[in-house]
Amino acid sequence: MYHNILIPVSFDSDRDVTAPMKLAEVLATPEAQVTLLHVVEHIPGYAISYMPEDYLAEARQAIQQELEDMAAKLPNARAVVIEGHSGRSILEWAEINKPDLIIIASHRPGMSDLLLGSTAAQVVRHAQCAVHVVR
Summarize pLDDT for 67-121 with one digit per residue, the tens. Answer: 999 999 999 999 999 999 999 999 999 999 999 999 999 876 655 555 445 899 9
Summarize pLDDT for 34-50 with one digit per residue, the tens. Answer: 999 999 998 887 887 78
Helix (H) or strand (E) holding 92, with range, is helix 86-97
Sketch the domain layout of the chain as residue ranges. 1-33, 87-97+109-130
Residue 58 has pLDDT above 70, yes or no: yes
Q: What DSSP designation does 2 have?
A: E
What interhelical angle do 86-97 and 119-126 show, nearest 10? 30
pTM of the model: 0.90
| Range 2-6 average pLDDT | 98
Length of the chain: 135
Q: Quick count: other Cβ atoms within 10 Å of Cβ 107?
A: 16
Q: What is the C-alpha separation between 115 and 24, in angstroms, rounded?
A: 31
